Amino acid sequence: EPEVTQTPSHQVTQMGQEVILRCVPISNHLYFYWYRQILGQKVEFLVSFYNNEISEKSEIFDDQFSVERPDGSNFTLKIRSTKLEDSAMYFCASRLDLRGYTFGSGTRLTVV
């Protein structure tokens, strides 16, 4: 069964450093998402991406965040200057149609 692949599974970074979280969505999917989940809290929407541009973003997705689809297969989330409160699980998801939201296994980001 097709999967959404995320790397790395766990990243530890120092406060103020830049991090790039990588995702390979399912190849024929058209819509791509990043969500995050702070430990013990609900899943939060960050950004959606369609047709090579951001289609929607939340208040969380400020100027410190950016997304790219550099080569038609990867979908990356960059955090320019990490803060302690950015520590969370970051999930990438992709979909072709309404039913087909498929989530990656997540990247656990720890900012120290």
104 neighbors 91 (Cβ within 8 angstroms): yes
CA distance 97 to 106: 21
CA distance 84 to 68: 23
The tokens for 94 are: 């992709």
66-85 binders of another protein (CB under 8 A): none
The tokens for 40 are: 């013990």
* Stretch touching another protein by CB under 8 A, among 11-19, 67-75, 77-85, 103-111: 103-111
Which residue, 11 or 105, has its beta carbon nearer to another protein?
A: 105
102 neighbors 92 (Cβ within 8 angstroms): no
From the list 48, 82, 87, 94, which residue makes contact with another protein (rule: CB under 8 A)? 48
From the list 44, 66, 69, 76, which residue makes contact with another protein (rule: CB under 8 A)? 44
If one asks whether residue 43 binds another protein (CB under 8 A), the answer comes out as yes
Minimum Å gap between C-beta 30 and another protein is 11
Q: Which residue has the tokens 């103020």?
A: 16
If one asks whether residue 91 binds another protein (CB under 8 A), the answer comes out as yes
Kindly report whether the peptide bond that precedes residue 2 is cis, defined as omega within 30 degrees of 0: no
Q: Which residues bind another protein (CB under 8 A)?
A: 31, 35, 41-45, 48, 56, 89, 91, 98-99, 101-106, 108
